[in-house]
Structure formats: structure tokens, C-alpha cells
Structure 1
């Protein structure tokens, strides 16, 4: 398994992972709209943002089996250290339970540590109880309640 920044060619596979948490979506069936392409271009150009993909380099070529978005946020807390916000964490539905999620998050945490981040935080839908147990097994603590306002 290889963890690396996503390329434009990975975008359909990433969108397929985000399309349905419980089913495998064929990346060839995903439409990369201009809005998705623009968002990816903006993320790729921003040194404080990255989409990371976990890739299985099997005999049939590369297969994106996991992804997440990391945003590095400057702040005055934690002695002025950046914090890493991890979002859109996904592992292919048919590949869960084999350590890929751990590899994905361990790699993202290592990247945050290498940047000098003082904290890694993530958000997760309250209904994803299995994901919450997984995050807790990695050492993440439920320390805050989050709020969102759709615009």
C-alpha cells in the first residue's frame, strides 16, 4: 500500500469513495463536474490542503482503496502550532477490516507530525458508530461537540 497526494487522475476514484459509504461505486460511473474539478484544482494549489489516497498497486494496476482530505490550520492555540483537520475519511466498502483505515490514518498523522502540527482532529457523522470505535482505537478522544450551519 502506498499513501500519496491524489492526482487529477485519482479524482473519479475519490469521488466514488465519497459517493456511498456502504457500497463500492465504479469510478467510471462518476461524473467529474466542473465544480468538482475546480475544487480539486483549488485544493491541489493550496499548500495547506491535500487529498491523500491509499493505493493498492496490485497486478491489475493501481486501485485507490482509501482517501481523506487534510487541511492544515494555523492558530494561536498549542503554542502557535498548526493543527491538522482530517475530513472525508473513506476506505472502500469491500476492503474494510484489513488494516487499511489504520494505514491511511497513521500515514496522515505522520504527515501532520512532520509538518510540526500540535494536534490532529477529525469530524465524523454521529451515526457512524463503527467509525467512532475505530477512531478511539487510534487514540482519538471525543473532546468537543461540533456544530454545522448549512448555507
Structure 2
């Protein structure tokens, strides 16, 4: 099992993971729109962004997007923002989410990041317990403005 940047060929599998957390979506049924193509190309060509996939024997089992943010805090070190964390519905509860997050933190650490941060919907109590079990602390209250 490896964590690596997604390829364009894996975009339907990533979109399938993002489409529904509760069931397995067949990547062949996912419509890859021009907007998805543009977004993937922007992520793929930006050195501060990665769409990462957890792959075993050619099957995409999980994904997340990591954005590396430069800043003056933490001694000028980058921080990693993790979003869109997903594990295939039929593989949840098997330790893959833990492995995905550990490998993502290892990548951030190797890059020189001083911390990894994420947000999680307030309704997702199970996800909050999961992140807490990995050592993530509820240190801030998040705010979003939909545009």
C-alpha cells in the first residue's frame, strides 16, 4: 500500500470516493466534467498542492488533498492543510484511514511543515473521534463564508 499523487487516470476513482461516503461508487459511473478536469490540472501543476491517493494492487482505497501553506508563524515553516479525506466505504474501519493520515503527516514532515491542520463538519462526531485518536487537537473554531 502506497500514498502518492493521483494520476489523471485515477480522477474518476477519486471523484467516486468524494461522491458518497456511505457506499462504494463505481468510478465508471462518475461524470468527469470540464470543471473537474481544470481543478485536477490546477492541483497537479501547483507545487503547493497534492491530490494524494492510497493505492493497493492498483485499487484506489483512499484519498486526500494536501495544500502546503507558507507563513510567518511557526518560525516561517509551512503548514499542511488536509481536506477531502476519504476511504472506500467497504474498507472503512480497517485502519486504512489511520494509515492514510499517518502517511500524509510523514509527507508534510519530510517537506518541513511544522503542523498539519484540517477542518471537519460539526455533524461528523465519528470523524472527530478518529482525528482525536491520531493526536489532532481541537485548537481553533473554524469559520467559512460560502461565496
TM-score by length of 1: 0.96
- SS of alignment partner, residue 65 of structure 2: strand
1:70 corresponds to:
66
Deviation (angstroms), 1:128: 1.1
The Cα shift of 1:40 comes to 0.2
Q: Deviations over 1:22-80 (max 9, x none)?
A: 111110000000000000000000000000000121xxxx1101000000000010000
How far residue 123 of structure 1 moved from its aligned partner, in angstroms, is 1.0
Structure 2, unaligned stretches of length 5 or more?
A: none
Runs of 4+ displaced beyond 6 Å: none
Between the two proteins, the alignment pairs up a number of residues equal to 147
The separation in 2 between residues aligned to 1:123 and 1:16, in whole angstroms, is 21
Superposed displacement of residue 108, structure 1 = 0.4
| Alignment partner, residue 123 of structure 1 | 119
Is 1:108 the counterpart of 2:104? The answer is yes
| Distance in 2 between residues matched to 1:21 and 1:124, nearest whole Å | 14
SS in 2 for 1:35: helix
Unaligned residue ranges in structure 1 (runs of 5+):
none
Listed as ranges, the matches of 1:75-86 within 5 Å are 75-86=71-82
Distance in structure 1 (CA, Å) of the matches to 2:29 and 2:121: 26
